[in-house]
Structure 1
Amino acid sequence: MLREWDRNGILEEKSNVERASRFIYLNKTCFNGLFRVNSQNQFNVPYGNYKNPNIVNKEVLIADSKFLNKSGIKIMNEDFEKAAKTARKGDFVYFDPPYASLDDTQNFVGYTLNGFDYKEQERLRDLFVTLDKKGCFVMLSNSSSKLIHDLYSDYKDTTIIIGATRNINSKASGRGKVDEVLIMNYNYKQS
């Protein structure tokens, strides 16, 4: 089974194309397209309940491949500081980290093995500030939580709150409309 590849060592033997194919398949057949791993760094999202999932959209895959192969885009699976290391003045950098909890009762901090706790949120804020000083255009999305508003208080004039619909939550009461923030280091109203 494809789901077992990261448990039985088969994943390490697969090509990049086979790994990407597995990711697309799991994304299209697991619960709500969620990606998450357990403490052993193994994919652990439950199966979705789909009768005919659209696993392969040939036209979209071809268009995406053409775009990504000719646009000088580089996709990295690295720590965010390492990924942003080559950013230069005038570059646009967008961060979409695991969102901060909205209150103290929520303790889910990430979809990956190491999570994304307060120290990681601080480290990301520090990088945001560094890139701002470097002359990059920086945008970040996150929850509209007190923690995030406090961390990015220097950017309150270029922060906007947007409504988003959440379909994934362990409790049904946690699904529905929530506020998120877009934090920028530039004046979005001039565009």
Structure 2
Amino acid sequence: MIRPFLKWAGGKTRVLPELLQHLPKGDCLIEPFVGGASAFLNTDYPRYVLADINADLINCYRVATTETEALISVAKTLFQHSNSKDEYTARRRSFNYQRNAGYGTNIELAALFLYLNRHGYNGMCRYNNNGDFNIPYGKYKNPYFPEQEIRQFAEKANDTKAAFVVADFRKTLTSTAINKNSAIYCDPPYLPASDTANFTQYHHSAFTREHHRQLAKYLKCVRYETDAAVVISNSDTPATREIYQHYQFHEVSVSRSLGAAVASRKKAGEVIGVLNVRRFRYA
């Protein structure tokens, strides 16, 4: 198994064995929510369209692909000399200033994003209402520098000529050349199992229940019009089963990775859903 070089809340590493059983063969895998890119790294499609609304994430992936050695060099220096709360706070401030002012280079911003990802609390990615990255310092003694994983990612991306796109799911599902040989895998921010478990702000605004309803509608339309295969994953909640009611669900159980304490992390139900065009009447 190839591991992602970024930590990512809700990443699919733990459920890959189950997920891979339900991803069909095809000419191209399209991911409107690429996130940590576990599915990309561990599948064998000839082509990939990897999209996300998070421009910082996509920039990091583009730089890792095209400027691999430069990213490793700049990021490694940050990892070697900046593991303290004061250094982290300064680097976070610099990252927010550079991205908002259009000051930093893509390589600098990608290296800072990787640094913040590996040094911030629990590897989370969150922004405030002003669009600033605001995850606190994680207090890790020796944060792992994923040099090998960056190289593996770059090799896979270059071999498959993967396209990295900054776009929301609506644009991805309407502007991409999707056909019957395409496979679409959607791993959107999860519907919360409870109000206290609600965390969906991977971008400047939350991914709401209404967004899930829109996603379900778009996927239903794409499936009907193109016959492309559609697979989703989400938390196993009544809301999930109601919104994605036309899917055949396969239940999986994984450990949550966002708990405040390891001892409090419990097994949580998730589902992998496969959309079959013959199971609904399009309206």
TM-score of the two chains, using structure 1 as the length reference = 0.85
- Written as runs of structure 1 = structure 2, the 5 A alignment for 1:17-56 is 17-56=107-146
Amino acid of the residue matched to residue 212 of structure 2?
Q
1:141 and 2:230 matched: no
Look up the match of 2:214: 123
Contact in 2 for aligned 1:139/1:184 (Cα 8 Å): yes
In structure 2, relative to structure 1, the CA distance for the partners of 1:113 and 1:171 (3 Å cut) is farther
Residues in 2 aligned to 1:154 and 1:39: alpha-carbon distance in whole angstroms: 35
Contact in 1 for aligned 2:231/2:272 (Cα 8 Å): yes
| Structure 1 gap ranges (5+) | 187-191
| Structure 2 gap ranges (5+) | 1-89, 277-283
> Which of residues 239, 242, 246 in structure 2 aligns to 1:154?
246
Residues in 2 aligned to 1:170 and 1:89: alpha-carbon distance in whole angstroms: 43
Look up the match of 1:189: none
Q: Secondary structure at the match of 1:119?
A: helix
Moved over 6 A (4+): 171-174
Q: Deviations over 1:142-172 (max 9, x none)?
A: 11111110111121xx211110101313587
Corresponding pairs, count: 183
| Percent identity for Structure 1 against Structure 2 | 27
Higher relative contact order (CA 8 A, sep 6+): 2
- Written as runs of structure 1 = structure 2, the 5 A alignment for 1:40-119 is 40-57=130-147, 59-85=148-174, 86=176, 87-104=178-195, 106-119=197-210
Look up the match of 2:40: none
Residues in 2 aligned to 1:100 and 1:174: alpha-carbon distance in whole angstroms: 20
Amino acid of the residue matched to residue 72 of structure 1?
K
Q: Deviations over 1:7-34 (max 9, x none)?
A: 4345622222222211111111111211
Amino acid of the residue matched to residue 136 of structure 2?
P
Structure 1 residue 123, shift from structure 2 partner: 0.7
**Root-mean-square deviation (Å):** 2.2
Q: Which has the higher mean CA deviation after the structures are superposed, 167-176 or 8-17?
A: 167-176
Residues in 2 aligned to 1:97 and 1:10: alpha-carbon distance in whole angstroms: 25
